[in-house]
Amino acid sequence: MINSPERVAPDTLARVQAEIERLGFRPSRAAQSLKQERAGAWGLELNSAGFGRLGAILDTFLIELTTGAAERGSHVVPFTAADSAEPLPAYERLVASRVADGFVLTDTRRDDPRPAWLEAHRVPYAAFGRVWDDPGITSWVDVDGASGVDAAVRHLADQGYERIGYLGWPEGSPVGDDRRSGWVRATTDLGLAHPEWQATSTQSLPAACRAAAGLLDQLGLPGRSARPGRPGRSGPGVAIVCASDALALGAWRVLVERGLEPGVDVGLVCFDDTDIAEALDLSSLHQPLDRVAERVLHLLATGPDSRDPAGGLLLPPELVVRSSSKPAGNRTTRKEK
Amino acid sequence: MINSPERVAPDTLARVQAEIERLGFRPSRAAQSLKQERAGAWGLELNSAGFGRLGAILDTFLIELTTGAAERGSHVVPFTAADSAEPLPAYERLVASRVADGFVLTDTRRDDPRPAWLEAHRVPYAAFGRVWDDPGITSWVDVDGASGVDAAVRHLADQGYERIGYLGWPEGSPVGDDRRSGWVRATTDLGLAHPEWQATSTQSLPAACRAAAGLLDQLGLPGRSARPGRPGRSGPGVAIVCASDALALGAWRVLVERGLEPGVDVGLVCFDDTDIAEALDLSSLHQPLDRVAERVLHLLATGPDSRDPAGGLLLPPELVVRSSSKPAGNRTTRKEK
């Protein structure tokens, strides 16, 4: 009745509306959902591999997504899969019980069973991360790792660093391989290519420290024991681009242990711009998570049939320059320590 | 009908059940919610001050809460308040629209408007964190910071450290004051009390570094410039207990810069056992977030009228011992670096 007030006698309407006011009536989401057969909610799997771990950005993404969903009258329902390698039962359960109308995927990977399953069951979804297995699926938004690392290398070269190495993840992860390709491309373009100046490590700090130490040796900045005095600042500047902030923490630790100052003695740029980069004053590539969340919610709102036929959206990360990539001579004001 | 199959003729029942099977019918949460007037969901405010920041534990808590809620047939709905200082409108909106049946509070503080508002509106809630303003409210579970820090001090004393300082938050935060009181209590009990051996800092890394540097000076371990050689290991061992892992990152950075090895030259124990502590191999007080989540969900399930009259529950944190609080002589196996 209150949805069509023009069909009610004015007296009745006034009485009903007064009563509604008195009772503090609000539309019930449960009642609306039943009528519309919609929960008004998007499921988001909390994968402990990508969430709440060192250098993770998904917690920030969840805040952006939650805020953006509320602006569109919906909300986010996080869930966990009992077995993260077999996530489909958890997705199926949320759809079957109508707790979620669709899903936001993160941590997309090769041989990811989720997009095909969701397509087959006509469940709306949008991914933060490319759908690597099927170029025909375009319901995704991602951050362009290659162009980000490319920009980081050019920034370092502009600052006068000439020996630019790369500390990345072991080959085979699509995100890691994408980021590394930016280093290969930019150093080749700039005539600074030295394919041997790279090392790989998992996200573990001890492993990152070992890999960074080896890379610094290769780049001509060995440990303190090998050089009794203060390390020289002569010769072309050495810099390292890291595939993540967690790897950069390892590199930073080795630098500090060797008495080398980030920026002054060795340039350092990392990826993800997490709290670690901010805390250690490291230059980093910032993922525009607000725009990612907005795009994901837009894809979900427009529905599976009207998806942008132009394909997924690649957003460039923004390079946040801090003291770790400014040689002393290039600094106008020295940051307070 | 299918909720009372005994009231239906057997033939009809068989036909209906076959049809249900054919259509893959599942109970609709929306329909059940309407009938029960319940959303089956608990709201959780994502406060950016406590979530997704350096050393934050709420992301891990969210995973525990999400998993525990699913086991009880409910789910968690995260939300953000447009103004975190005035959160009530966001709570009101979730209740009015029936998106949430009640709330899990985190980041409880003095002059917190939420418990009184929720009580007045008879909205179920349970808090991770004491309800500091009203000892009569017992719907909370918290981690006993004082007993945790007390245990850390005793552990350091057992390991042979005798000059035990404290790096804490500025006075006035209930959680910070609680944790500091454990240091006061244990050092007094052990005859190691030196009230001047403390420093305070916010969670910001530069501030933590400055505070840690001053505290180390006071404790007799000045900077490298003041001591040309390798710092001496003679005299009673120096140790620092930190109120958080973020503060410990500042202390760790100063130690590394001064050429001091955590554990060997200076004992270090921190609080929260986040990814930072694990990455830097720092001993830390682990909050039992799985048990906190379980208790919160239990309080919500039993409802406001049958709340445990015994009062809120204080859980002791568990001390996770890593290399930062083991002097070299006390180590059976030296950890791989």
The pLDDT, as a whole number, for residue B11 is 62
- What proportion of chain A, given as a percentage, has pLDDT over 70? 77
- Return d(Cα A113, Cα A85) in angstroms, integer: 9
B83 to chain A nearest CA, in Å?
12
Contact A99 B29 (CB under 8 A): yes
**Residue A164 banded pLDDT, cuts 50, 70, 90:** very high
Mutation choice for A interface testing from B25, B32, B62, B101 by most A CBs within 10 A: B62
Q: Is B247 found in the same domain as B127?
A: no
Contact A249 B79 (CB under 8 A): no
Q: Is A258 found in the same domain as A183?
A: yes
Residue A7 lies in a domain: no
CB B235 within 8 A of CB B266: no
Contacts of B37 in chain A (CB under 8 A): 30
Q: Is A303 found in the same domain as A188?
A: no
B100 to chain A nearest CA, in Å?
10
Nearest CA in chain A to B99: A29
Residue A10 lies in a domain: no
Residue B195 lies in a domain: yes
- Total number of domains in chain B: 2
Q: Is A183 found in the same domain as A200?
A: yes
Contact A51 B59 (CB under 8 A): yes
CB of A226 within 8 Å of a chain B CB? The answer is no
Residue B193 lies in a domain: yes
Residue B126 lies in a domain: yes
Q: Is A179 found in the same domain as A232?
A: yes
What is the end-to-end Cα distance of chain B in Å, rounded? Answer: 66
Q: ∠ at Cα B39 (A85, A72), nearest 5°?
A: 80
Contact B70 A79 (CB under 8 A): yes
The pLDDT, as a whole number, for residue B228 is 42
Mutation choice for B interface testing from A21, A23, A25, A28 by most B CBs within 10 A: A28
Q: Is A48 found in the same domain as A119?
A: yes
Nearest CA in chain B to A249: B279
Contact A34 B53 (CB under 8 A): no
Mutation choice for B interface testing from A64, A80, A201, A264 by most B CBs within 10 A: A80
Q: B47 is in which domain, residue-wise?
A: 28-143+289-316
A239 to chain B nearest CA, in Å?
20
The pLDDT, as a whole number, for residue B12 is 55
Residue B167 lies in a domain: yes
Interface contacts A/B by beta carbons within 8 Å: 131
CB of B202 within 8 Å of a chain A CB? The answer is no
A146 to chain B nearest CA, in Å?
26
The pLDDT, as a whole number, for residue A331 is 55
Residue B36 lies in a domain: yes
Strand partners, B164: B239
Q: Is B181 found in the same domain as B114?
A: no
The CATH number that applies at residue B173 is: 3.40.50.2300
Q: Is B271 found in the same domain as B187?
A: yes
**Residue A55 banded pLDDT, cuts 50, 70, 90:** low
The pLDDT, as a whole number, for residue B206 is 87
Contact B275 A53 (CB under 8 A): yes
pLDDT tens digits for range A18-45: 554 544 444 455 445 544 567 799 999 9
Q: Is A119 found in the same domain as A86?
A: yes
Q: Is B129 found in the same domain as B191?
A: no
Residue A88 lies in a domain: yes
Reading chain B (337 residues) residue by residue, the pLDDT tens digits are: 344 444 445 565 565 555 545 444 444 554 455 445 677 999 999 976 655 555 678 888 999 999 999 999 999 999 999 888 899 999 999 999 999 999 999 989 999 999 999 999 999 999 999 999 998 888 999 999 999 999 999 999 999 999 999 999 999 999 999 999 999 999 999 999 999 999 999 988 889 999 999 999 999 987 554 444 444 444 569 999 999 988 999 999 899 888 888 998 999 999 999 878 887 889 999 999 999 999 999 999 987 555 566 568 999 999 999 999 988 666 544 343 3
Nearest CA in chain B to A51: B59
Contacts of B81 in chain A (CB under 8 A): none
Contact B97 A29 (CB under 8 A): yes
